[in-house]
A and B are shown apart, each in its own frame.
Chain A
Amino acid sequence: MSQQVWKLVIVAEEILSKKLIKLIKEAGATGYTVMAAGGEGNRNVRSTEEPSVSHTLSNIKIEVLTGTRELADRITHHIETKYYADYSIITYISQVEALRDHKF
């Protein structure tokens, strides 16, 4: 009663959230999950620490489950060409088991 799917994780600047979600949906994904994120990378500490006057320095994490590796790769490719150069953003893919069958 389970299915092998691909989990694409995107950790990015919060101001990109609307654009990334649009891109994910246009690529053909059926859904996504967004949450607030914080941490440290090569562009220094970016956290959800409060108070935060502008959200320019906060991060989000988006998870997308895709039925095929090809779809996950396509989303990653679009993100790479559009945003890698100028924004704090990382993406990674892993294979996971979705417990609700036929959803993806």
Chain B
Amino acid sequence: MISPFFIKIKPVSEFITLLIKQLQSPTLGFLIGGIVVASFGSQLAIPDSIYKFITFFLLLKIGLSGGIAIRNSNFSEIFLPALAAVALGILIVLISRYTLAKLPGIKVPDAVATGGLFGAVSGSTLAAVLPQLDSAKVPYEAWTAALYPFMDIPALVTAIVVASLYISKRSGHASDTVEIWPIVKDSLQSSAVTALLLGVALGIATKPEPVYESFFNPLFRGFLSILMIIMGMEAAQRMNELRKVAQWFAIYAFIAPILHGFLAFGLGLLIHRITGFSIGGAVVLAVIAASSSDISEPPTLRAGIPSANPSAYIGASTAIGTPVAIAICIPLFIGIAEMMLGR
């Protein structure tokens, strides 16, 4: 006879086993490898152009698979997850406005810019979660990658608008207005969103399956591992920037991805109940909410909120936010999904 205690404890131990399995993924190994070599002051330098090419390649591939999936899917399926992505982008910024910004010694523009970056999406984190879902055999809709701009743009617009309203209110120039279109345009023109949307458009319009199968798909994991080394090295280097600002940014950067991920996962499960959106899709939504932009959005924020200190938001996002999203959130949400699928 199985004791009630055993029944209660079994899922937890299973969950830990699943989590450890996820933690042994090569993606994470390469990331930690990058952190370690940069922390030891290695001379290793990966040229900027390689980094740019790899992110372009990965996001183009993700876009292509998304586009192919959209071609074969029903547009009404996409509506609710896209709406959830927009809501999460806005909500994440508001959370930072009413938590981080209220902490002692924190300037509101710095906090809101940090919230904007955490609401925005990281292409590298998105690239990392998809192959891990494949390895874990958790099915997801390939078009979920196309949710990226639906979360990214509202987060940036909200952050810049909230910060500008605060700054103009403080300076007494209540007439200052914030133009939204330039922010949207900046985000759409950013390298990450351009590559992703180009991929989606080509996936829908051109039937790219042959080149996808023979070129983009086989090279994806290899390039992803190189990108993870770069992200790790970048994280270690940005740690120095983060040390110069209040410790609250580091604490926020650790907690926020996990909290945002759970919020998004909850919304994803709600949509799963309503429309049959897959649990794997909810994991993708959770991970893009957990991710914080490190590629294309810092310049948009720097231009949109010039008085915010880039050491605070870039340090928080790149040094802690991205490693937490990749190392903790991806295994965590895939582990929960596997549990829910009864494995």
Partners in one complex: yes
Chain A interface (Cβ < 8 Å from any Cβ of B): 13, 15, 44, 49-57, 85-87
Nearest CB in chain A: distance from B138 CB, A: 28
Can you name 5 A-B pairs with beta carbons within 8 Å? A13-B302, A15-B302, A51-B48, A53-B294, A56-B299
CA distance A50 to B38 in the complex (A): 11
Of the residues A44, A54, A86, contact of B295 by C-beta under 8 Å? A54
Interface string of B216-259 (1 = CB under 8 A from A): 00000000000000110110010001001000000000000000
**Among A55, A57, A86, A87, residue most surrounded by chain B Cβ atoms (within 10 Å):** A57
CA distance A86 to B167 in the complex (A): 13
Contacts of A54 in B (CB 8 A): 294-296, 298-299, 314, 318
A55 (CB) vs chain B CBs: closest residue: B299
CA distance A86 to B163 in the complex (A): 14
CA distance A49 to B298 in the complex (A): 17
Extra A-B contacts (7), CB below 8 Å, given A54-B295, A54-B296, A56-B302? A51-B47, A51-B233, A52-B48, A52-B234, A54-B314, A54-B318, A56-B299
Of the residues A15, A50, A51, contact of B299 by C-beta under 8 Å? A15
Would you call the interface of chain A mostly helix, strand, loop, or mixed?
loop
Of the residues A49, A51, A57, contact of B314 by C-beta under 8 Å? A57
Contacts of B299 in A (CB 8 A): 15, 54-56
Contacts of B307 in A (CB 8 A): 85-86
Q: Is B149 an interface residue (CB 8 A)?
A: no
Contacts of B237 in A (CB 8 A): 49
Nearest CB in chain A: distance from B176 CB, A: 15
B156-187 contacts to A, CB under 8 A, are: none
Decide if A56 touches B310 in the complex (CB within 8 Å).
Answer: yes
Chain B interface (Cβ < 8 Å from any Cβ of A): 45-48, 51, 230-231, 233-234, 237, 241, 244, 294-296, 298-299, 302-303, 306-307, 310-311, 314, 318
Would you call the interface of chain B mostly helix, strand, loop, or mixed?
helix
Nearest CB in chain B: distance from A25 CB, A: 19
Contacts of A57 in B (CB 8 A): 241, 310, 314
Contacts of B45 in A (CB 8 A): 49-51
B231 (CB) vs chain A CBs: closest residue: A53
Contacts of B295 in A (CB 8 A): 53-54
CA distance A13 to B210 in the complex (A): 43
A88 (CB) vs chain B CBs: closest residue: B310
Decide if A56 touches B306 in the complex (CB within 8 Å).
Answer: no
Of the residues B230, B302, B311, contact of A53 by C-beta under 8 Å? B230
CA distance A87 to B303 in the complex (A): 10
Contacts of A85 in B (CB 8 A): 306-307
**Among A44, A56, A87, residue most surrounded by chain B Cβ atoms (within 10 Å):** A56
CA distance A52 to B46 in the complex (A): 9
Nearest CB in chain B: distance from A49 CB, A: 8
Nearest CB in chain A: distance from B107 CB, A: 13
**8 shortest A-B CB distances, which residue pairs?**
A86-B306, A56-B298, A54-B298, A15-B299, A53-B234, A51-B230, A50-B48, A51-B46
Nearest CB in chain B: distance from A58 CB, A: 9
Contacts of B48 in A (CB 8 A): 50-52
A14 (CB) vs chain B CBs: closest residue: B299
CA distance A54 to B235 in the complex (A): 12
